[in-house]
Amino acid sequence: MRRTKEEAAETRREVLRAAEALFLDKGYENVTLDEIAAAAGVTRGAVHWHFKNKQGLLFAIRDKAQQPFKELAERIAEGHAPNPLELVAETISATFADLQQEPRKRGLLKVIMYLDMAFCEEVADNANSFRHDMREHFARIFHSMDAIRPLPPLGRQILPLPL
């Protein structure tokens, strides 16, 4: 039976949601692909098709967490942000507010940090790490902002800080 792109995307989302929940509840090391498949209501083959393995699921969780900053970098680079610095501040504030209000998202951040420690530290340049990717997104954001309008010198308060 052939599936539509929409059905395949929904299957992928379901597998990812199941993996996130199981990783948080049981810990990454204590979860099997069979458990993830059962929780998502799919076959183990479907999990392999969409993510290859458990590490692939962790990378997908990491990519999902980075998405707001990746989209911000693209939006600023394309010149679609009237006030890029304000947009950066809003995105960072919203991310921290979300983490504060959502314990499960804080837990997922711990899972992502596990990914960095377990899979990326053996790579000399950490080119696949969450930290490296986030630095790349922020470098792109600030280079694009500086190209649009030079940034104020360091040491000067840019935005009023909320109390």
- Burial (CB < 10 A; 0-12, 13-18, 19+), residue 132, is middle
Task: Convert the pLDDT of each residue in 1-47 to its tens digit.
Answer: 567 888 889 999 999 999 999 998 888 889 999 999 999 999 999 99
- Listed in sequence order, the residues at least 6 apart from 31 whose beta carbon sits closer than 8 Å to its beta carbon are 19, 22, 23, 54
| Fold held by 1-52 | Arc Repressor Mutant, subunit A (1.10.10)
Cα torsion 98, 120, 118, 68 to 10°: value is 10
Task: Convert the pLDDT of each residue in 59-88 to its tens digit.
Answer: 898 888 888 889 888 888 888 777 888 888
Structure-token match 């360091």, residue found: 154
d(CA 19, CA 37): 9
| pLDDT band, residue 163 (cuts 50/70/90) | very low
Q: Which of 85, 45, 92, 51 is nearest to 68 (CA)?
A: 92
17's tokens: 């949601």
